[in-house]
Amino acid sequence: AYGARVINEGGWQSVPKLAFPGGALIGCAAGFVNVPRIKGSHTAMKSGMLAAESLAAAIAAGHEHTELMDYDAAVRDSWIAKELKLVQNAQPAVAKWGEDLGTVIAGIDMWMRTLKIGLPISMKHHRDYEMLQRADLYRPIAYPKPDGKLSFDKLTNVSFSYTNHAEDQPVHLKVKDMELQKVSELGEYAGPSNRYCPAGVYEWLVDEDSGEPKFQINSQNCVHCKTCDIKDPNQNIEWTTPEGGGGPNYPNM
């Protein structure tokens, strides 16, 4: 099988308000991943349990149409918060000081927090798309071609995801300004969407009639990893929920 997903690695300081009129953020959607331990299923399930309990209590009290504030408070008072606060500076430290020094600083911070003498700071994050640099500042990377045994091309991998979208559904990957995509994403950044997408959704082709670059979106290949929504340097691509529940299907996972 094949799949891809962006990891919400912001940690505790990136957890948003969890309840809003008509809904709530539960599980990985809210960013409950313990990044140093590469775990998140346990926190995701616990948040679902807390949401269910809050929802049941609201219905019993006749508050079906109100904001589920008890859920947000329950999460922030649970062991989810306690666990994530212990590692809240781990990822920001590695991002700021690199793998070697950052890991050492992150380890010290985690141990100090475990011993309840943690550093009196909560490090901030950068936005992922802000870290992308202009193409003219770097040399192109020569990636080896897939050998068909241990490594495969993207379209072969996508076939193992069993992704499926109705052919006549509205496109769920929306480009806000196509001219900006051409001038900046291609002109300045050399079209990174062609490389960061794990499913071959985005292609820069040459239009046969005009000879100009053409941005082609193969939305039927999308495995819903949401990398484009996060990594596009201009925040010009918007991932929206596809119609009809289309997308990857993992029968063996």
- For residue 236, list its beta bridge partners: none
> Which of 71, 106, 129 is the C-terminal boundary of a domain?
129
Distance of alpha carbon 19 from alpha carbon 209, whole angstroms: 51
Q: Which domain holds residue 109?
A: 12-129
Place of tokens 């962006």: 6
**Pair 223, 196 in one domain:** yes
**Pair 142, 122 in one domain:** no
> Which of 129, 164, 184 is the C-terminal boundary of a domain?
129
Q: What is the mean pLDDT of the chain?
A: 90
| Residue 121 binned pLDDT confidence (cut-offs 50, 70, 90) | confident
| Residue 196 binned pLDDT confidence (cut-offs 50, 70, 90) | very high
**Pair 75, 137 in one domain:** no
Average pLDDT over residues 152-166: 91
Number of folded domains that form the chain = 2
**Pair 122, 17 in one domain:** yes
Closest CA relative to residue 224, chosen from 249, 204, 205: 249
CATH code at 40?
A: 3.50.50.60
- The 10s digit of each residue's pLDDT in 35-57 is 888 899 999 999 999 999 999 99
Average pLDDT over residues 178-182: 95
